[in-house]
């Protein structure tokens, strides 16, 4: 049955946005790099690249800004990030970066040689700011990078550039990814050096059958121009993928024979060398994304064997969805490649397992009723794994460790007084870390610490400890609400200035509500409305957000996956029932209730306005979907199933199905 095409007389349409979320606040790379032996860390500063000795924090300028000034230039390179060759004698510097969709992954790369003190640009004959994901070969003699959808290798001694692929185009993508892989799988860097430096393994994405969405640029010129974007909507086949291994010497390419459903297609979100230069390990997902297979590929003949598989009644999250370290590649091998670490929710919680190389042996490492929120460090020598978790409060984050062999319970390392959101960047040996902290009333701060005693060291300024007085003075508070249907949800509330409980105040709800993000986080700045010109609290509004079932809170798989095939229904019901409880508070003006959101929150705003007009009187929906069938296939099919088989779910989840019931004020 087709969706109803309702003309919305009461909607002021202010523009169509092909934007999924608010702009990302952070990139993947920072300007701090640990030495391999953990005796130093390096940082890009105004004076150049600076080395700090551990644990004293003694400073030494390794490369001055003058050394980083190209010939003929008056200014040193503006360092976006940098990394070292394996012998720490060459430094790869990324600069002049440009955004590709969300992140600045295209730019210029330079190599500074600590032996001859030279500074040279990579790919100097290629277009400015066109290089992507440059990286040294393990032996330090070459660098590989992508430019213009093709893969290149450059000899660092002769500076000879060699094209490893020649068929690259907007529709045939080598060494990186199309829009939907980047957006929904966090796949960006699409090639890997072999450990022996003789070959490069890479993705090839064929978008020739993917239809273009045509965006119109009317702002950069008097004459508008069209920008085509490969955009596969729900119901369309995935773009075919291939994994190739190119020999650096003769340029020959061996393609891996990875099986996939010829009718439905599938996805390959992860690929790495399998702890040697003879094999690759890949993760294959079926079209529905509810079956994951790990496969070993023999690069000599392309033959493939499955070593581990897992199914889920809803969907399987790939590791980069909860661990940012994997967004640019990586695989956690143990025992010299005989085992690896892998996440699974098969017991209802997101836990880590040791999997033998043949997949026959599985050992649970993180034991208990909690979710692993991120892997911080594997210390195989000390039989420890450090990770992030929050067993008792889903709005917060803490640092834990446990035995790597699975024979022990998790131990919290974060001190008891630092209540809120904690993050850690560990040295390779696990003896030092940068600890970052904030909560809803304490601004972000950082300190350099030694582990496991969590002792502050010289170097980084220090943690600003949360103070009871700051908490008491804050207009923000966290609460839990239990609905009439027995669902308990976390929420935050910002009260108006000079709040008087005997008065009644209008309330604005901020929603996201889908599996992509939480809104209720105990961290500084989580309570904000960047689009409101002014101050909600000064202008007399109560501001509230609630996380419903289906949001990615660390509350177990049942919480997160209860939304499967129910986007637009379960999340909307939970939000409305939570609002109904809030409206019972004596200081809430039930006649003045508003809601707003962006992307999934924009869609939720529409659904809340349409399905529960008795609660929500005004709504602002930004970048919203009116029809779930118009969003990309990876996201929508992961959480809703394939529309050809689940059309009724798509119809019931789409705001346009309920638009006729609008009675309030809506800005779309």
* pLDDT at residue number 18: 30
User: What is residue 15's predicted lDDT score, i.e. its pLDDT?
Assistant: 33
pLDDT band at 19 (very low <50, low <70, confident <90, very high): very low
CA–CA distance, 268 with 185 (Å, rounded to integer): 9
- pLDDT digits over 208-245, tens only? 999 999 999 999 999 999 999 999 999 999 999 999 99
CB atoms within 10 A of CB 354: 21
State the Cα–Cα distance between residues 277 and 195, nearest whole angstrom.
6
User: What's the angle, vertex CA 552, arms to CA 550 and CA 553, rounded to 5?
Assistant: 105
Cα–Cα distance, 128 to 14 (Å, whole number) = 36
Residue 489, pLDDT > 60, answer yes
Query: Distance between CA 52 and CA 312 in Å, rounded?
Result: 47
Dump pLDDT digits (tens) for 510-520: 999 999 999 99
Strand stretches in 235-358, DSSP E: 241-247, 253-255, 266-273, 279-286, 291-298, 304-311, 333-334, 339-344, 351-356
What band does 320 get if pLDDT is binned at 50, 70 and 90?
A: confident
The DSSP annotation for 612-623 comes to -TTT--EEEEES
Structure-block tokens of residue 419: 């209540």
Range with lowest mean pLDDT among 3-17, 44-58, 405-419, 617-631: 3-17
Distance of CA 539 to the CA centre of its chain: 35
Identify the band that residue 31 occupies on the pLDDT scale cut at 50, 70 and 90.
low
Closest C-alpha to 282, from 311, 312, 303: 303
- In this predicted structure, which of 3-12, 252-261, 360-369, 399-408 has the lowest mean pLDDT? 3-12
Q: Is residue 361's pLDDT more than 80? A: yes
Give the whole-angstrom CA distance, residue 29 versus residue 327.
11
Confidence (pLDDT) at 462 = 81
Cβ pair 402, 410 in contact under 8 A: yes
pLDDT at 11: 39
**Is the entire prediction scored with pTM above 0.85?**
yes
Start-to-end CA distance of the chain, whole Å, equals: 26
pLDDT of residue 101: 86
C-alpha–C-alpha distance, residues 338 and 344, integer Å: 19
The set of residues, in sequence order, having a beta carbon less than 8 Å from that of 340 and lying 6+ positions away, is: 281, 331, 332, 333, 334, 354, 355, 357
Is residue 472 within a helix (H) or strand (E), and if so which, with residue range? Answer: helix 468-473
Q: Is the pLDDT of residue 570 over 90?
A: yes
Which whole-number Å values give the CA distances from 75 to 45, 69, 666, in the listed order? 14, 6, 51
Query: Is residue 29 pLDDT above 60, yes or no?
Result: no
- The pLDDT of residue 467 is 83
Indicate the SS3 state at residue 651: helix
> Are 375 and 387 a contacting pair, CB within 8 Å?
yes
Which two three-digit tokens encode residue 439? 């909560």
Residues 6+ apart with CB under 8 A from 252: 246
Rounded to a whole number of angstroms, the CA Rg of the chain reads 26
Average pLDDT, the chain: 93
The percentage of residues in the chain with a pLDDT greater than 90, rounded to a whole number, is 89
Lowest mean pLDDT among 55-69, 327-341, 475-489: 327-341
d(CA 273, CA 269): 14
CA–CA separation, 633 and 622 (whole Å) = 21
Please state, in angstroms and rounded to a whole number, the distance separating the CA atoms of residues 95 and 276.
32
- In this predicted structure, the answer to whether residue 14 has a pLDDT above a threshold of 70 is no
Compute CA distances 633 → 180, 184, 210, 284, whole Å.
8, 9, 11, 16
Handedness of CA 270, 274, 279, 284 (dihedral sign): negative
The answer to whether the CB of 448 falls within 8 A of the CB of 457 is yes
| Triad 601, 606, 611: Cα angle to 5° | 120
593 and 509 in contact (C-beta within 8 Å)? yes
DSSP 660: G
Q: What is the pLDDT of residue 576?
A: 98
What is the model's pLDDT at position 30?
56
Q: Determine the average pLDDT of the residues in 299-314.
A: 97
Distance CA 364, CA 344 (A): 10
In sequence order, the β-bridge partners of residue 137 are: none
In a 3-state reduction of DSSP, which class is residue 336?
A: helix
Does residue 577 carry a pLDDT above 90? yes
- Which tens digits make up the pLDDT trace of 144-175? 999 999 999 999 999 999 999 999 999 999 99
Examine the pLDDT at 123 and tell me if it is beyond 90: yes
Q: What pLDDT, on the 0 to 100 scale, is given for residue 329?
A: 77
Q: How confident is the model at residue 279 (pLDDT cuts 50, 70, 90)?
A: very high
**21 pLDDT higher than 90:** no
Cα distance between residue 450 and residue 319, in whole Å: 28
């Amino acid at each position: 049955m087709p969706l109803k095409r309702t003309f919305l007389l009461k909607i002021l349409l202010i523009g169509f946005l092909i934007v999924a979320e608010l702009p990302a606040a952070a990139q993947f790379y920072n300007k701090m790099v640990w030495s391999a032996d953990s005796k130093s860390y390096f940082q890009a500063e105004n004076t150049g690249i600076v080395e700090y000795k551990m644990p004293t924090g003694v400073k030494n300028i390794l490369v001055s800004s003058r050394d980083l000034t190209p010939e003929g230039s008056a200014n040193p390179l503006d360092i976006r990030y940098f990394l070292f060759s394996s012998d720490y004698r060459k430094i790869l510097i990324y600069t002049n970066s440009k955004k590709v969709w969300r992140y600045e992954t295209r730019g210029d790369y330079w190599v500074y040689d600590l032996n001859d003190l030279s500074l040279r640009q990579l790919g100097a004959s290629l277009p400015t700011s066109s290089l992507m994901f440059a990286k040294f070969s393990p032996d330090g003699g070459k660098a590989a990078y992508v430019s213009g959808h093709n893969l290149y290798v450059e000899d660092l001694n002769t500076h000879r550039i060699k094209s490893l692929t020649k068929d690259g185009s907007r529709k045939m993508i080598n060494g990186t990814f199309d829009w939907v892989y980047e957006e929904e799988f966090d796949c960006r860097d699409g090639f890997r050096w072999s450990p022996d430096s003789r070959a490069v393994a890479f993705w090839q994405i064929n978008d020739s059958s993917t239809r273009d969405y045509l965006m119109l640029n009317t702002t950069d010129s008097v004459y508008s121009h069209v920008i085509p974007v490969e955009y596969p909507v729900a119901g369309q086949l995935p773009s075919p993928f291939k994994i190739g291994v190119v020999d650096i010497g003769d340029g020959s390419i061996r393609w891996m024979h990875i099986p996939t459903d010829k009718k439905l297609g599938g996805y390959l979100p992860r690929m790495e060398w399998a702890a040697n230069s003879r094999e690759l390990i890949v993760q294959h997902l079926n079209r529905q994304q509810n079956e994951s297979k790990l496969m070993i590929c023999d690069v000599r003949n392309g033959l493939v064997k499955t070593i581990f598989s897992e199914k889920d009644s809803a969907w399987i999250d790939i590791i980069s969805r909860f661990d940012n370290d994997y967004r640019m590649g990586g695989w956690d091998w143990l025992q010299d490649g005989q085992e690896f670490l892998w996440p699974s929710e098969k017991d209802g919680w997101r836990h880590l397992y040791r999997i033998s190389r043949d997949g026959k042996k599985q050992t649970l490492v993180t034991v208990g009723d909690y979710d692993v929120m991120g892997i911080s460090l594997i210390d195989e020598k000390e039989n420890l794994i450090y990770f992030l978790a929050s067993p008792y409060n889903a709005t917060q984050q803490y640092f834990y460790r446990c035995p790597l062999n699975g024979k022990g319970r998790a131990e919290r390392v974060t001190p008891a007084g630092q209540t809120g959101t904690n993050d850690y960047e560990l040295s390779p040996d696990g003896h030092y870390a940068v600890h970052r902290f904030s909560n809803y009333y304490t601004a972000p701060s950082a300190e350099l610490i030694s582990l496991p005693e969590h002792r502050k060291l010289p170097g980084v300024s220090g943690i600003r400890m949360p103070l009871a007085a700051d908490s008491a003075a804050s207009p923000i508070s966290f609460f839990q609400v239990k609905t009439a249907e027995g669902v308990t949800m976390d929420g935050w509330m910002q009260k108006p200035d000079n709040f008087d409980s005997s008065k009644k105040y209008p309330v604005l709800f901020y929603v996201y509500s889908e599996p992509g993000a939480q809104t209720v986080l105990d961290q500084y700045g989580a309570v904000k409305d960047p689009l409101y010109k002014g101050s909600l609290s000064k202008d007399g509004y109560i501001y509230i957000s609630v996380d419903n079932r289906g949001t990615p809170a660390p509350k177990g798989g049942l919480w997160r996956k209860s939304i499967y095939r129910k986007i637009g229904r379960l999340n909307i019901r939970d939000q409305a029932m939570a609002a109904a409880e809030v409206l019972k508070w004596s200081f809430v003006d039930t006649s003045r209730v508003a809601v707003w959101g962006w992307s999934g929150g924009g869609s939720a705003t529409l659904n809340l306005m349409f399905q529960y007009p008795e609660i929500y009187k005004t709504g602002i929906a930004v970048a919203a979907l009116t029809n779930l069938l118009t969003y990309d296939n990876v996201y929508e099919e992961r959480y809703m199933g394939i529309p050809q088989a689940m059309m009724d779910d798509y119809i019931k989840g789409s705001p346009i199905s309920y638009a006729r019931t609008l009675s309030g004020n809506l800005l779309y």
